[in-house]
Structure 1
Amino acid sequence: MANSAQADTLSPQGTSAPPGSTEPLADLAARYKLTVSGARPGLLAYTRQLWARRHFIVAFANAKTRATYSTAKLGQVWQVLTPLMNAAVYFLIFGYLVKTRQGIDNYVAFLVTGVFVFTFTQSAVLAGSRAISDQLNLIRALHFPRACLPISFTIVQLQQLLFSMIVLGAIVLGTGEPLSFKWLLVVPALLLQFVFNVGLSLVLARIGAVLVDIKQLLPFLLRTWLYLSGVFYSLDQYTKHAPTWVSHALAANPATVYIELIRDALIDSQKNVPLHVWGYGVGWAVLMGLGGYVYFWQAEERYGRG
């Protein structure tokens, strides 16, 4: 046993060389350009791999969209019915009972827009938290950048929102709002929200891959976020007597920002949002989009292990 131990030459990392060789394994691997199986690629290389699989991302998202409501008789109509029913409940409870509609012109369009836009982020967060933990068989069977999954799930939510936006536009027009060129601002606003949602989905995907119970906690966190985002009440009215830092913090809330941008585009009776709100929208998209992407990439080699 002692002679056998003395015969092995250890590398600086503590690994033994092959029998009959005195060259450390690290040097041997470097000489033959061997790499660790499943090692995380550099960020730029990872991005190139992700871009090369863009068609897979879109195809996976399309398949998920078709499968989501395949067993329901009304199919994809539920994409619209669900937020509409939520809006009806909020209208009854908050609009009539709590009377948050007071002082808001065209409260129906105000409320429905807020519900549809917030639902987009809410659904992306919930889907992202399950993107890794619910796809372990796929992850362990195939090699691909794992970021494909949360991005695909966010695209699914975007597709559902775009379908819902047709109904939202009809509701807004039906409440007396004019169709104008300002509606085109919905496109950059939704694009910024999509980038923000992708980043947030990537963050929750990494957390959900390790902490499976996050799925039980998220509904409570999202409900609190909903109440703080001015979906069914005017933040300006409810923060008139609040400390300045509170009103500024609520106004900078990303969910509030994207809701206000889209309300401003669709509802002519709403007061024009200040230019700095667009700055908030761009800032949140860049911060969460890039930050979430890097945060997810840092754990790339750990997804599906164990």
Structure 2
Amino acid sequence: MANSAQADTVPAGGPSADGGGIPLAELAARHNLSVSGARPKLPAYIRQLWQRRHFIVAFANAKTRASYATARLGQVWQILTPLMNAAIYYLVFGLMLKSDKGVDNYVAFLVTGMFIFTFTQSAVLAGTRSISDQLPLIRALHFPRACLPISFTIVQLQQLMISMVVLCAIVLGTGEPLTANWLLLLPALLLQFMFNVGLSMIVARIGAEITDMKQLMPFLLRTWLYVSGVFYSIAHFAKDAPDWVRWILEANPAAVYIELARDALVESHAHVPMHTWALAVGWAFVVGVGGFLFFWQAEEKYGRG
């Protein structure tokens, strides 16, 4: 009887079976206990995200209202920032460096590129900080951590919708006609949003592990800006370059979504080939799904340490 009683107890000295006790892992399994904060299976993780969809939207709405709460002009800065950047780039690249060669309506061309690139740029910057800046929330509440980069990307989408009103007004003001082709902007932005969500998750995990990414990311994004054809025509710029250079520039995801937006809004812009749409879909699914899986694999690490 004594030996039997001893076999059913865990020794006070430690979690092993030494001394006749039961290993803690076996005892936990017997009572259906699991590790706190352990990564759930992928299907369960997706279900948890869906169950918290209202939290994701509410969190995004709160962040949108709070983002410019201390600024006198509030959310107007979401419109002013890309407009001022576009004005500066027009002065430098349009007037001084004459980068408008090969472009008929350079103002609409430039402003469209600036607004579309800003959407991805802002999503990446917000995603980089989405985990590291929310540690108190992560440590206080149990929820799928993917809620955070998704919410921050929704914030950028909401702000883009405001900017789109101004962008369309500028494009119309430059003499571009309102055509049925403008409807193509909707699927283009949807694909870009999927791409941005995946990319935001990738940089969120990296930013959680390497905190210096917050300082490095603006330089990486500025480099990305210069090679994405925001203020010059890639087709005109790379017409004499080797085929592989032109292909890399045209396959750049930021350039792909910019070209689709220009194709929809700017009638004078050369229509994009069908493979551009194929690239847009490919980037959206590869980065969107791949970024989600990459983020989920480190779920139990966020907020630790």
| Alignment TM class, shorter chain as reference | over 0.9
In the TM superposition, 1:208-227 aligns within 5 A as: 208-227=207-226
Paired letter, 2:124: V
- Contact 1:18/1:25 (<8 A) preserved: no
Q: Tell me what 1:179 maps to.
A: 178
Deviation at 1:205, TM superposition (A): 0.5
For 1:59-116, what per-residue CA distance to the aligned partner results, in whole angstroms no more than 9, with x for missing partners?
A: 0000000111111111111110000000000000000111011220110000000000
- Contact 2:101/2:236 (<8 A) preserved: no
Aligned length: 296
For 1:261-304, what per-residue CA distance to the aligned partner results, in whole angstroms no more than 9, with x for missing partners?
A: 01000011111100000000000000000000000000000100
Q: Tell me what 1:116 maps to.
A: 115
Separation of aligned partners in 2, 1:127 and 1:289: 16
Q: Tell me what 1:166 maps to.
A: 165
Q: Tell me what 2:194 maps to.
A: 195
Separation of aligned partners in 1, 2:288 and 2:190: 12
Q: Tell me what 1:4 maps to.
A: none
For 1:125-158, what per-residue CA distance to the aligned partner results, in whole angstroms no more than 9, with x for missing partners?
A: 0000000000000000000000000100000001
Q: Say which SS state the counterpart of residue 16 (structure 1) adopts.
A: coil
Q: Say which SS state the counterpart of residue 75 (structure 1) adopts.
A: coil
Query: Considering only aligned residues, what root-mean-square deviation do their CA atoms show, in Å?
Result: 1.8
In the TM superposition, 1:1-306 aligns within 5 A as: 15-17=15-17, 22-306=21-305
Deviation at 1:32, TM superposition (A): 2.0
Separation of aligned partners in 2, 1:172 and 1:160: 19
Structure 1: tracts of 5 or more residues without a match? 1-6
Paired letter, 1:224: T
TM value normalised by structure 2: 0.94
Paired letter, 2:62: A
Separation of aligned partners in 1, 2:23 and 2:107: 72
Q: Tell me what 1:3 maps to.
A: none
Q: Say which SS state the counterpart of residue 294 (structure 2) adopts.
A: helix
For 1:195-236, what per-residue CA distance to the aligned partner results, in whole angstroms no more than 9, with x for missing partners?
A: 000000000000111111011111111111000000000001
Deviation at 1:27, TM superposition (A): 2.4
TM value normalised by structure 1: 0.94
Deviation at 1:181, TM superposition (A): 1.1
Q: Calculate percent identity across the aligned residue pairs.
A: 72
Structure 2: tracts of 5 or more residues without a match? 1-6
Separation of aligned partners in 1, 2:228 and 2:182: 22
Deviation at 1:16, TM superposition (A): 1.3
